[in-house]
């Protein structure tokens, strides 16, 4: 049993994302804002559009870094309001 409650993408249906080799742009229709993201951050957002996921699941993404770096990226995305930790 995982102690990590997981992560979710608030208002996922209102999120669009475009990918390029060196990054991606997220468009949030609710906030009418865009955010430039790294390729890995874009992969995380895409995965969370499909539903909540715990850190172990996100660590299995193709370009996922070590656990400490991934945890830092998830916290950064949360601080900026792009993802939310599940309770």
All structural domains of the chain with their residue ranges: 7-85
pLDDT attached to residue 3: 60
The phi, psi pair for 13, rounded to 5°, reads: -65, -20
Cα distance between residue 85 and residue 87, in whole Å:
6
Please, which residues have CB within 8 angstroms of residue 66's CB and are 6 or more apart in sequence? none
- State both tokens at 24: 């991606």
pLDDT in tens, the chain (87 residues): 456 779 999 999 999 999 998 999 999 999 999 999 999 999 999 999 999 999 999 999 988 999 999 999 999 999 999 999 998
Range 7-85 has CATH code 2.40.30: no
């Amino acid at each position: 049993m995982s102690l990590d409650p997981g992560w979710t993408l608030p208002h996922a249906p209102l999120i669009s994302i475009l990918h390029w080799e060196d990054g991606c742009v997220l468009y949030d229709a609710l906030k009418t804002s865009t955010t430039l993201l790294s390729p890995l951050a874009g992969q995380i957002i895409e995965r969370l559009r499909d539903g909540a996921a715990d850190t172990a699941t996100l660590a299995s993404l193709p370009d996922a870094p070590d656990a400490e770096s991934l945890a830092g990226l998830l916290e950064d995305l949360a601080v900026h309001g792009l993802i939310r930790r599940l309770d």
